[in-house]
């Protein structure tokens, strides 16, 4: 793509820092999806090339788990095509971990911007693996839909090989873009030992999201290849929990409802009244965090 091609950044998850963990981490600034505008006419870029303009990676590191007093391990592992990926493994703060959460983060920023989504899991007794997709943070390669979905699979492959974990008690948790990509990845390739899938503020359709942010022009610049709506039914029989805020202005709640409708049983939906894109699980002193933990414990211990 030449420098004259239109800059079309269809951002989905810029409010990641709105979910503040109980350790009182401050909010961190991410690129604003509503300040990014379509600046050119149609016909100058193909839909397939437009897919790669969907993402807002950064390569900074505003914080690490240690910033908030959490132990962590820098980890690296290859994606299926050999692309090197970087992540953080955060051990449970309890002596005996309840399970291991593989966290797939939202669109904007790198790992350090998304800590507020997962530190509370470590406090609640779960190990956490969080990682950057290709083209994000310290991971290698360049953004791309197929490659990034394969990166989700690589993260599960990595934790499945760790001898210090109970690999039969795995949980997938994805926010926004991460929820969408994890749905497709798990739908394509079931994960041994996966006991539950949680998606928070995820979308069903790439073209619908492009239209929400960029109108018909935006919709024309992306394809529907690998859309989560076409894979969510394949997660069954692993239990699925869909979390979505009723006031989400980035990913409309209708997208979460569509995923829930398309999913096969067993499935549950928590529609958080007045919840926004990044704060549904943090609202009301973490009331829905407690509900998520209770839901997970039932699936892990059942």
Domains and their CATH numbers in the chain: 16-301 (3.40.50.1820)
Q: What is the pTM of this model?
A: 0.88
196 vs 27, residue with greater confidence: 196
Q: What pLDDT is stored for residue 46 in this prediction?
A: 59
Segment (H or E) for 120:
helix 119-123
Whether the predicted pLDDT of 34 surpasses 70: no
Q: In this structure, what is the dihedral angle of CA atoms 151, 153, 156, 157, given to the nearest 10 degrees?
A: -100
Q: Which of 188, 184, 182, 201 is nearest to 252 (CA)?
A: 201
The percent of residues above 90 in pLDDT, for the chain, comes to: 78
Whether the predicted pLDDT of 35 surpasses 90: no
Q: What's the pLDDT band for 47 if we cut at 50, 70, 90?
A: low
Average pLDDT, the chain: 87
Determine the Cα–Cα distance for residues 255 and 278; give it in Å rounded to an integer: 15
Q: What's the pLDDT band for 53 if we cut at 50, 70, 90?
A: confident
Q: What's the pLDDT band for 54 if we cut at 50, 70, 90?
A: confident
Q: Which of 107, 102, 95 is nearest to 196 (CA)?
A: 102
Could you read off the pLDDT of 84-110 as tens digits, one per residue?
999 999 999 999 999 999 999 999 999
Whether the predicted pLDDT of 4 surpasses 60: no
Task: Say what angle helices 145-160 and 177-188 make with each other, to 10 degrees.
Answer: 70
Q: Quick count: other Cβ atoms within 10 Å of Cβ 57?
A: 18
Q: What pLDDT is stored for residue 170 in this prediction?
A: 98
Whether the predicted pLDDT of 231 surpasses 90: yes
Scored b (16 or more CB within 10 A) or e, 25-37 reads beebebbebeebe
Whether the predicted pLDDT of 148 surpasses 50: yes
Could you read off the pLDDT of 236-274 as tens digits, one per residue?
999 999 999 999 999 999 999 999 999 999 999 999 999
Determine the Cα–Cα distance for residues 163 and 168; give it in Å rounded to an integer: 12
Could you read off the pLDDT of 189-224 as tens digits, one per residue?
999 999 999 999 999 999 999 999 888 888 888 999
Answer yes or no: are the C-beta atoms of 197 and 183 closer than 8 Å: yes
Residues 6+ apart with CB under 8 A from 3: none
Determine the Cα–Cα distance for residues 242 and 251; give it in Å rounded to an integer: 13
Q: What pLDDT is stored for residue 15 in this prediction?
A: 34
The percent of residues above 70 in pLDDT, for the chain, comes to: 84
């Amino acid at each position: 793509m030449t420098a004259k091609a239109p800059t079309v950044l269809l951002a989905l998850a810029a409010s990641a820092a709105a979910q503040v963990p109980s350790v009182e981490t401050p909010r961190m600034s991410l690129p604003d999806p509503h300040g990014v505008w379509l600046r050119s006419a149609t016909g100058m870029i193909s839909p397939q090339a437009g897919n790669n303009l969907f993402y807002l990676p950064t390569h900074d590191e505003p914080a690490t788990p240690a910033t908030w007093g959490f132990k962590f391990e820098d980890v690296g592992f290859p994606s299926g095509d050999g692309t090197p990926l970087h992540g953080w493994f955060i051990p449970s703060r309890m002596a005996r971990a309840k399970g291991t959460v593989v966290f797939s983060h939202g669109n904007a920023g790198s790992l350090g911007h998304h800590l507020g989504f997962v530190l509370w899991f470590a406090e609640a007794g779960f190990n956490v693996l969080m990682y950057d997709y290709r083209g994000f943070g310290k991971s290698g390669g360049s953004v791309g839909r197929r490659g990034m979905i394969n990166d989700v699979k690589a993260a599960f492959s990595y934790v499945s090989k760790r001898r210090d974990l109970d690999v039969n008690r795995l949980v997938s948790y994805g926010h926004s873009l991460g929820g969408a990509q994890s749905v497709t990845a798990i739908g394509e390739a079931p994960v041994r030992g996966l006991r539950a899938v949680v998606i928070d503020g995820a979308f069903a359709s790439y073209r619908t999201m492009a239209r929400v942010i960029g109108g018909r022009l935006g919709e024309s610049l992306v394809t529907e290849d690998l859309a989560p709506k076409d894979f969510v039914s394949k997660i069954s029989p692993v239990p699925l929990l869909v979390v979505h805020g009723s006031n989400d202005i980035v990913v409309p709640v209708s997208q979460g409802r569509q995923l829930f409708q398309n999913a096969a049983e067993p499935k549950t939906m928590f529609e958080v009244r007045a919840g926004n894109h990044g704060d549904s699980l943090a609202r009301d002193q973490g009331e829905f965090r407690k509900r998520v933990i209770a839901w997970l414990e039932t699936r892990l211990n059942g």
